[in-house]
Amino acid sequence: MIHIRRDVCGYCGACVSVCPRGALELIDAYLTVDETLCKNKCKICQTVCPLGAIEQEEQ
């Protein structure tokens, strides 16, 4: 599972546009993660985040 650091996130949507599973959605300046779609393996969202607001949680 990924963790969004909301105190750091700029809500730019960069992560939303690159997620191959469509697990991220930006609604009214609030980023949501669909845990059923995110498999926490590709880490593309974490890579493209310009502010480093996305972290991988240990399972």
The domains of the chain, with CATH numbers, are 2-56 (3.30.70.20)
Cβ contacts of 32 within 8 Å, gap of 6 or more: 24, 25, 26
Tell me: the pLDDT tens digits for 28-41?
Answer: 889 999 999 998 78
Q: What is the mean pLDDT of residues 43-50?
A: 96
pLDDT at 29: 86
Q: 59 pLDDT exceeds 80? A: no
Q: What is the mean pLDDT of residues 22-28?
A: 94
- State pTM to two decimals: 0.84
Q: 16 pLDDT exceeds 80? A: yes
pLDDT at 58: 72
> How far is it, in rounded angstroms, from Cα 31 to Cα 25?
6
